[in-house]
Amino acid sequence: MLWNWITISRNASRAIVNNYGAILGKEFCNPDRVEDLISLMEDGSADTVSEAIAAYKGAGKA
């Protein structure tokens, strides 16, 4: 069970890097950080990925 979760997590990380690495930058290329950015956009704190990254960094999380 744990092995499946590790495999899924690694695959998700690879997919993020391959598809969005140029946009997000290395710092945000993991599922947890992407989820944080999505949350910022969903709660209205940011309208774009760039704004979400700025808000994330401004909150002292980065």
Structure tokens at 16: 């993020």
As for how many domains the chain has, the answer is: 1
**Displacement of CA 3 from its chain's centroid (Å):** 22
Q: How do residues 45-58 score in pLDDT, each as one tens digit?
A: 999 999 999 999 99
| pTM to 2 decimal places | 0.69
Using the predicted structure, report yes or no on whether residue 29 has a pLDDT greater than 90. no
Helix (H) or strand (E) holding 46: none
Q: How do residues 16-25 score in pLDDT, each as one tens digit?
A: 778 878 888 8
Mean pLDDT of 14-40: 84
Mean pLDDT of 7-13: 69
Identify the domain containing residue 23 by its residue range: 2-58
A 10 A CB-CB count for 26 gives 8
C-alpha separations of 60 from 14, 34, 53, 56, 57 in Å: 26, 16, 11, 7, 5
Mean pLDDT of 8-29: 78
